[in-house]
Amino acid sequence: MARISSYPVDQNIVGSDKVIGTDSAGAITKNYTLNGISNWMNAEGTIGIAGQNNFFFQTVNGDEGRLPGTISFNGFGGANTSFSAVSTLRFSQESVADTIIINYLLTLIGRPVLLARLDNLNNFGVYKLVSLIENVSEPTFYDAVFTLIVANGEMTADKYYGFAVYPALEDGSDLNFIYTQNTPSATWNITHDLGKFPSVSVVDSADTQVYGDVVYINDNSLTVTFIGAFSGKAYLN
């Protein structure tokens, strides 16, 4: 085998490139792809931002029940659930790095938080963490209640998700909310939980702006009435 220093330097690095290493189990020499190393680092949180903790999304109740280092729905399942539909999740008291972090998570109550898929950050939800309460029947797990701020994409089974405070709303930045009306209707009833009377801009499914009559029920909900039924989105700020 030639000296390592004699090999040329690869100027076109891709995820499928391999490096040689030793498996800790059995001290066996193996190849490792850069993608594999990156996925491991993401899952273990070794390159996470400060305050970020990672969890595995468990959808199946196996022989060992709810596993440490996971997030899950109360009755499991939930694959392909839209982030905008998530209002509760059950959190392990420890992250996938086998570190108990519940005391830190409890400090996030009342603050804006981000939950995002580590290998595709375009799937995410930004929420206000309303509460985080120990589950009586599963005392190493805590039930989180969320209020939606903004979201995109859906939760995919057997993927790793990062959970952290959302700094963009921690510096006093204005809160906003995106409401999606999936079923055509002439009256949209919107609960936004922004704690204020926001401005409202509406577009239809073709992204054409539409004007309606806004009635504020209180500082957390409102209705918008139009002359005809349609579906679309409302942007509240």
Residues 161, 70 share a domain: yes
CB 73 within 8 A of CB 55: no
Non-local CB neighbours of 11 within 8 Å, separated by 6+ positions: none
Confidence of residue 132 (pLDDT cuts 50, 70, 90): very high
DSSP string, 55-76: EEE--S-BTTBSPTTEEE-TTS
Provide the 10 A C-beta neighbour count for residue 92. 25
Least reliable range by pLDDT among 18-27, 30-39, 46-55: 46-55
The winner for highest mean pLDDT among 1-15, 26-40, 190-204 is 190-204
Looking at the domain assignment, is residue 1 inside a domain?
no
Residues 187, 164 share a domain: no
How far is C-alpha 95 from the geometric centre of its chain's CA atoms? Answer: 15
Least reliable range by pLDDT among 5-14, 31-40, 179-188, 191-200: 31-40
pLDDT of 135 over the 70 cut: yes
More confident residue, 52 or 87: 87
Domain coverage including residue 135? 44-169
Residues 137, 211 share a domain: no
- What gap in Å lies between CA 107 and CA 151, rounded to an integer? 22
Mean pLDDT of 207-225: 91
Looking at the domain assignment, is residue 66 inside a domain?
yes
Confidence of residue 66 (pLDDT cuts 50, 70, 90): very high
Q: What is the pLDDT of residue 46?
A: 52
Domain boundary among 128, 145, 169: 169
pLDDT of 172 over the 90 cut: no
Q: What is the pLDDT of residue 131?
A: 95
Report the DSSP beta bridge partners of residue 187.
225
Report the DSSP beta bridge partners of residue 31.
20
Q: What is the pLDDT of residue 32?
A: 74
CB 102 within 8 A of CB 150: no
Q: What is the pLDDT of residue 62?
A: 83
φ, ψ (nearest 5 deg) of residue 180: -110, 120
